[in-house]
Amino acid sequence: MAQKPLLSPEQRDEAAHKIREWLSTEQDLELGRLPGEMLVEFIEQHMGRLYYNQGLRDAETLIRAKVEDVADALYGMER
């Protein structure tokens, strides 16, 4: 079963443009639109989950800290 894309079509276009631009200016390598889009698709399919999962872990850490702050505040309000 195919994975649902992580990026919207607009985000994928922007990412492909940025990759092509970076390759051109930093690596002196010209990449056409289709190969740029294919590279974004490859990155999304094979590496996107790594960034996505790290984002989830970061969010979980932040939420746990906030919940602990609320619990401490509630404990301080006890009579």
42-75 confidence digits (pLDDT tens): 999 899 889 999 999 999 999 999 999 999 999 9
How big is the CA angle at 16 (ends 15 and 22), to the nearest 5 degrees? 90
Is the pLDDT confidence value at 36 over 70?
yes
Confidence of residue 5 (pLDDT cuts 50, 70, 90): confident
Q: What is the pLDDT of residue 2?
A: 62
Model-level pTM? 0.67
Distance of CA 77 to the CA centre of its chain: 39
Confidence of residue 4 (pLDDT cuts 50, 70, 90): confident
